[in-house]
Structure 1
Amino acid sequence: MDSATPRAKAARRRRIVPALLALGLSAALAGCISLGGKVPDTMLRLTAEQTAPAGALGGGPVASALVVMEPETDRSLAVLRVPVRIDGARLAYLKNAVWVERPARQFRSVLAETLRARTGRLVTEGPELLGQAGQVLDGSLLDMGYDAQAQAVVVRYDAFLRGRDGTVKTRRFESRATGVVPDANSVAPALNRAANEVAIQVSDWINASGT
C-alpha cells in the first residue's frame, strides 16, 4: 500500500511524465539518425575555386551556349569510394572516406562553374540544349584517385568538344599532386585542387578554340 500523501504522489507524477516523454523522443530519433560506427569519418566533395559572381550567369543566343555533359567513367569511379591504385593490376579504396555524390557528376559541376567564371558564356549542365547549343563538352574521367606507388593524387580527363558544324576537338588533361599521405584529410583537398586545375586547363583550351 502506497502511504505517500496526495501532494507527494502528484510531485512524483510530474517527474515521471517528462522522463517518459524524453524516452519516447529518444526512441523516435534513433529511427531517423545513426549514432553507430558505420558512418564514414570523411565525406568528400568537390567545389569550384573560381565561381561566377551573383547575378546573371551569362546569356545570348542558344546557338552560342556551351553544354557540359557528365563524363563517362569506368566502374572504379562509378561508386562513392575513392580508388587507390596499388599497382598496375591491383586496386583498393581509401579507408573511411566516401564521396557525397558520384565523382563524375561533381567534376562536371566544377567544370561548368569554372567555365562560367572564366568565359562569361551561357553554360548549362545536362542534355536539355543538345542539338541547339553551339558547343558540347563531353568526355571521359579516366582517373580521380590516389596512386599509392607515387604517393600522389591524380585527376585525368579526356575532353571531346563538339561544334554545331560537326567538328570535334579532343585533348587529354591531367593534374597530379605528389607527397600526399594516404588518408582522407590529405587526399580530399589535394583531389579538389587537382580537379580545379584540370577545369582551368579545359576552360583555357575552350577559350582558345573559340565558339
Structure 2
Amino acid sequence: MPTLVIGNKNYSSWSLRPWLFFRQSGLAFEEVRLPLDTPEFYQRIGDYSPTARVPVLRIEDETIWDSLAICEVANERWLGGRGWPADARARAAARCASAEMHSGFSALRTQLPMNCRRPDNGYRGDAAAQKDIDRVQALWRDLRTRFGGGGEFLCGDFGIVDAMFAPVCVRFTAYRVPMEAVAQRYRDAIYALPAMREWLAAAAAEPEALAATDAF
C-alpha cells in the first residue's frame, strides 16, 4: 500500500490536493501526518522527502515529492487515466488550469493562506490578490461553460483539476471572498464531496495552531 505523507489538514493546501484525489477516487493508502513547523516535522520529514516538504508519496522504495506529480502517478498507475477528462480538448484545458494553479496565484496564496477553521474575519486582500481571485473565477467560469455540462465539476466529473483547486475553495470560504454564481456552485460541489467533508472535519479537530497563519 502506498504511503501519503501530509501536513496539518487545517493548513496544508499542498497536502489537500493529492489526499482529496486519492480518497475521492477510492484509492487505498496509508496516511502519515506530520504537523507543520514542529520538532516532530523536522525530525521525521527527512525520512520521507528529499525536499523536506509535504506532500510526498512513497511506493515501496520509490518517492514522489510533488503534489501534481503524485496525482499524475496515481492516475497513471491505478486509475487508467480517468483523473483527466476523456475529451482531448477538455483534457488539455484541465492540464493548463492545473499547471497555472500549481505555479501561479502567488498573491492569493500569500495573503489568503489556507486555514479551514479561520474565524469569520472577512477578506482583506489587496489589488494583487483581487487580480488572482478574478482570474480564478474567470478560469472556473470558462471551464464550466465549455466542458462542465456533464457534471458538477470544472470539466464534468471530479478529477485532478478539481483537486488542484480545492484549497482555493477553502480560501474563498474562509476569507468570505465574494463569488459569482458559477464559482459559488462549484465551491458547493467541492464541499459536498464525502472526502472533502472528511478532510474538513479532521481539520476542525486538530489540536495544533500556527500563529503566523492564524493572524491573517
TM-score (normalised: structure 1)? 0.23
Larger Rg: 1
Name whichever structure is richer in strand by fraction. 1
Question: Larger relative CO (CA 8 A, sep 6+): 1 or 2?
Answer: 2
